[in-house]
Structures are given as C-alpha cells and as structure tokens.
Chains A and B, each alone.
Chain A
Amino acid sequence: EPEVTQTPSHQVTQMGQEVILRCVPISNHLYFYWYRQILGQKVEFLVSFYNNEISEKSEIFDDQFSVERPDGSNFTLKIRSTKLEDSAMYFCASLTGQGMEDYTFGSGTRLTVV
C-alpha cells in the first residue's frame, strides 16, 4: 500500500541552525500538509500546500518556516533559524482531494533543537 515517507526519522540540530525536513507524498496526491506535535501535546496544523502554493497556514507558521515542492516528488519544510521551542515531532500528510479518503500521515521526523 502506498505510504507517505519522511526523512530523517530523527534530527538533532543546534539552536540558530537551518533545518530541512523531507517528505515524499503518495505519487498521485495533490494536497500536502505539515503538522507539528510538541512532546506530550496534541497534533497541530502548520500548513497546507496545493498547486505549488500555500493554501492555508496557521499562526505557528511564521516567517521562520517555509515549504516547497522542489522536484515534483519531495515536499520539504524548512526552518530557517531553529529555536528550542521548535523541538517537536513533525508529520507530513497528503491527499488526492477527490472524494472520501483517509488522511494518512508519514511516520514523522523528531526534531531536537539543542
């Protein structure tokens, strides 16, 4: 069964460094999402992406964050200058956008900012 793939599974970075989280959505999907889960808290929406542009973003998704789909297969989340509070699990998801479908997440990237 097709699945959303995320790499790396765990990344440790120093505060102030840039980090790029990578996701490979399911191949025929058109809508892409990033979510964040701070340890012990609920999963929160960050951003949705469709037709090569952001469809919606949350208050969390400030100027330090950006997304792109550089090559038609990867979907990336970049954090320009990481802060300690960016430490979280980041989940990617994708949908076809056509009719009823399950909302399936990748296995997540655990980002630790030290």
Chain B
Amino acid sequence: AQKVTQAQTEISVVEKEDVTLDCVYETRDTTYYLFWYKQPPSGELVFLIRRNSFDEQNEISGRYSWNFQKSTSSFNFTITASQVVDSAVYFCALRPATGGYQKVTFGTGTKLQVIP
C-alpha cells in the first residue's frame, strides 16, 4: 500500500519569505516516482516536478527547489522569495515505477497563502 502524508494543512507567509512544504511517503516498491503538483484557485493540476527514486539529487528550478531524502522517505518542496502568485494548494504524489497502469496516490495537500 502507498501513502503520502502532507502534515501541513495550511501555511501563510508574507511575500518574499521562504517556505517549505513537507511531504512524507510510504511505499513497498523499490522503484517509484514522486511528484509535486500545484492547484491554483482555477482548479487545474499543474505538474511541477517528477523525481525518480534512484535519483536523490536535489533539484532547483528558479525559485523552486526540492529535497529528496530516501532515508527519511521525504520529498520536501521549498519556494524561495515567495510571491502572491504562489498562493495555491500543493499536492505531493507517489506512483510505482513499474507497470504502465499504476495509479498515483496523492497527499491531502497543503494550502499556501502568500500575503502581500
């Protein structure tokens, strides 16, 4: 069974502050993918990143960075110098890497509010 836990339900930060969204996962699969999605108020799911379980390198994309630690089963997401446009619900998700028809298991999401 797979499980994704996002313990932070809501976070509020003031613009330009850094913020880290936590994600902890459980899986018995030896290879898997981890994802982060952004869901703005308009409702669509915007893909942010996919990380393979065998690649523990951290990744930076502009103001976004991701810290993958297999030893603690965590895949945290940091937004540096937050902006109002970052306000959204962010979902962490997990999928087995084997088999094409494997479903994605989502966390419950963290609602981020960036206050101007």
- Residues of chain A whose beta carbon lies under 8 Å from any beta carbon of chain B: 30-31, 33, 35, 41-45, 48, 50, 55-56, 58, 89, 91, 93, 95-98, 100, 102-105, 107-108, 110
Measured in the bound complex, the distance between the Cα atoms of B37 and A45 in whole Å is: 15
The interface residues of chain A lying within 8 Å CB-to-CB of B100 are: 30-31, 50, 95-98
Are the CB atoms of B50 and A43 closer together than 8 Å?
A: no
B108 close to A (CB within 8 Å): yes
CB distance from A48 to the nearest CB of B (A): 5
Contact of B44 among A44, A102, A108 (CB under 8 A): A108
Are the CB atoms of B43 and A108 closer together than 8 Å?
A: yes
Q: How many A-B residue pairs have CB under 8 A?
A: 62
Are the CB atoms of B108 and A41 closer together than 8 Å?
A: yes
Interface residues of B in 38-54 (CB under 8 A from A): 43-45, 47, 50, 52
Known: A102-B50, A108-B43. A97 touches B91 (CB 8 A): no
Which one of B35, B104, B105 has the highest number of Cβ atoms from chain A below 10 Å of its Cβ? B104
The interface residues of chain A lying within 8 Å CB-to-CB of B52 are: 100
23 sample A-B contacts, Cβ–Cβ < 8 Å, listed by A number: A35-B104, A42-B106, A42-B108, A43-B104, A48-B102, A50-B101, A55-B101, A91-B45, A95-B100, A97-B99, A97-B100, A97-B101, A100-B50, A102-B47, A103-B33, A103-B35, A103-B47, A103-B50, A103-B93, A103-B95, A107-B43, A108-B43, A108-B45
- Residues of chain B whose beta carbon lies under 8 Å from any beta carbon of chain A: 33, 35, 37, 43-45, 47, 50, 52, 91, 93, 95, 97, 99-109
Contact of A42 among B35, B91, B95 (CB under 8 A): B91
Contact of B105 among A30, A45, A56, A105 (CB under 8 A): A45
Are the CB atoms of B101 and A89 closer together than 8 Å?
A: no
Are the CB atoms of B109 and A103 closer together than 8 Å?
A: no
Are the CB atoms of A45 and B104 closer together than 8 Å?
A: yes
Are the CB atoms of A45 and B107 closer together than 8 Å?
A: no
